[in-house]
Amino acid sequence: MTGTTDPEEALRDRISADSLTSRRDYLRVMTTVSGGLLVGSVAVSAGVLHRHGDAEAAEVPELRVADRLARGQAVLFNYPGEHDRAMAVKLADDTVVGYSTVCTHLACGVLWKEHRGEEGELYCPCHEGSFDIRTGAVTGGPPPRGLPKVLMVERADGSVWAVGTAFSDESVRHAACRQLGAIRPGTTVPSCPSGGGN
Amino acid sequence: MTFPSAEPPHWSRPGSDEPRLNRPVPERYPQIRPTSGYADPRVVHSGPGPGAGTEQEPERSAVLSARLVIVLSVVAGQLWALNVGVDAWMQGRTGTAWWCTGFEALSFVIALGAWWLGPRDR
């Protein structure tokens, strides 16, 4: 070997040139990552993430979102919390539907596209995710879950009201029962599962 | 194309103008050995064997690799469970989310055990 005269110094040089992360280090790092994932999972289950519709049902009054809504027209509002962005759309058959406008993929704003699909659809321009306008279910793109719903009613005078919420992919009946259970604990409704839908 | 002399032009000559930079690789980089990359940097006296840095205890090395594979598999499973748990919680299925947390805890115990197994290789 040439280039270095002192063998001990050469040995030190060679060892320092070796891989800085050994398998033992990697094992330790990945075990720590495993612990981190456990902590993250506990945080998720304990409710650290914001979820549309988490506001206590009893605290959220019905919200008048429009005096009148024409077919194909959409209106934006915040419900149930002031940071919960939502949209109501009146479809061609006069059904009024409401959804959170926060995409379930990466939280971009979802848009109403009347001329996409058969009845129009909700479209996220960030990664081209799309949602069914009748159910909120994912019809294309990367979103992992359907959009959370806002339960809408249209009164006789034509005004449109937001009256409740449903989580991603949750049925309207289940959501209504859940919120009824929160407002009036112990109430028994024949069409609801026991416990008010919880 | 022809050249006026037998010598190739300066710009096409391989290597460097400085002879010391044209020496064979082992001479230019004495730190690089055929065994480089295998040694633990904390080992300063590697002892007898076929060469400094080579594996002295292949079984121990295999067990270390196996433990690493187990922990990596566990972490992959945990990532999947976290994905399922987040989806479940967002859909209002809190019970499923807690089951996923239980799975995460069990996985962490396995990873911790795999790490703890080898007192000499932590």
Asked if residue A178 and residue A107 are part of one domain, the reply reads: yes
- The four Cα atoms B16, B21, B23, B25 give a dihedral, to 10 degrees, of -110
Question: For A3-15, what is the mean pLDDT?
Answer: 71
Let me know whether A78 and A106 are in one domain.
Answer: yes
Return the structure tokens found at B113: 């055990």
The mean per-residue pLDDT over the stretch A105-129 comes to: 92
Instruction: For residue A197, tell me if it sits in a domain.
Output: no
Q: Are residues A93 and A32 in the same domain?
A: no
Q: What is the 3-state secondary structure (H, E, C) of A138-190?
A: EEECCCCCCCCEEEEEECCCCCEEEEEEECCCCCHHHHHHHHHHHHCCCCCCC
The average pLDDT across A176-186 equals 76
CB pairs under 8 A between A and B: 145
More confident residue, A6 or A26: A26
A62 and A157 housed in the same domain: yes
| Pair (A40, A77) in one structural domain | no
Chain A contact set for B26 (CB, 8 A): 1
Do residues B85 and B93 make contact, with C-beta atoms less than 8 angstroms apart?
Answer: no
Interior CA angle at A151 toward A147 and A156, to 5°?
145
Higher local confidence (pLDDT), A120 or B42: A120
Please state, in angstroms and as integers, the Cα–Cα distance from residue A121 to each residue in A78, A128, A137, B21, following that order: 20, 12, 10, 66
Beta strand A129-132 with A138-140 is antiparallel
Residues A76 and A16 in one domain: no
Of B40, B67, B78, the CB nearest to A22: B40
Q: Which of A57-71, B41-55, B90-104 has the highest mean pLDDT?
A: B90-104
Determine the structural domain holding residue A92 and report its residue range: 57-183
Residue B51, pLDDT > 60, answer no
CA B8, CA B10: separation in Å to the nearest integer?
Answer: 6
Is B99 in CB contact (< 8 Å) with chain A? no
Report yes or no on B29 lying in a domain: no
Residues of B whose CB is below 8 A from A45? 85, 89, 94, 97-98, 100-101
Among the partner residues B33, B36, B122, nearest to A24 by beta-carbon distance: B122
ipTM metric: 0.77
Report CB contact under 8 Å: A20, B41. yes
Average pLDDT over residues B19-27: 79
In percent, how much of chain A has pLDDT > 70?
Answer: 88
Q: Give the total number of structural domains in chain B.
A: 1
User: Does one domain contain both A170 and A77?
Assistant: yes
Whether residue A162 sits in one domain with residue A126: yes
Residue B13 resides in a domain:
no
- Name the residue range of residue B92's domain: 58-122
Q: What is the CATH number of the domain that holds A162?
A: 2.102.10.10
**Residue B86 contacts residue A49 (beta carbons within 8 Å):** yes
Name the domain count of chain A: 2
Chain B residues 44-63 within an 8 A CB cutoff of chain A: 44, 52-53
What's the confidence (pLDDT) of residue A3? 52
Q: DSSP secondary structure string, B1-38?
A: ---SSSSPPGGG--S-SSGGGGS-HHHH-TT--TTTTS
The pLDDT tens digits of the residues spanning A75-105 come to: 999 988 888 899 999 998 989 999 999 999 9
Choosing among B36, B74, B91, which should be mutated to test the A contact, i.e. which has the most A CBs within 10 A? B91
Q: How far is CA B61 from CA A104, A189, B66, in A?
A: 45, 64, 9
- The residue of chain A with its CA nearest to that of B37 is A18
Closest residue in chain A to residue B31, using alpha carbons only:
A14
Whether A18 and A109 share a structural domain: no
pLDDT at A196: 44
Which residue does chain B place closest to A15, by CA atoms? B41
Query: In 3D, which of A83, A129, A122, A116 has the Cα closest to residue A99?
Result: A122
Interface residue B69 vs chain A (CB under 8 A) = no
Contact A75, A152 (CB under 8 A): no
Residue A97: closest CA among A31, A60, A146, A30: A146
C-alpha–C-alpha distance, residues B48 and B52, integer Å:
8
Q: Which residue of B has its CA nearest to A42?
A: B101
**Looking at residue A74, what is its pLDDT?**
93
Taking an 8 Å cut-off on Cβ atoms, the answer to whether A24 and B101 are in contact is no
Same domain, yes or no: A62 and A25: no
How confident is the model at residue A172, as a pLDDT? 81
Please indicate if any CB of chain B lies within 8 Å of the CB of A21: no
A170 or A13, which is more confident?
A170
Whether A191 is covered by a domain: the verdict is: no
Helix A23-46 to helix B94-116 angle (10° resolution) is: 160
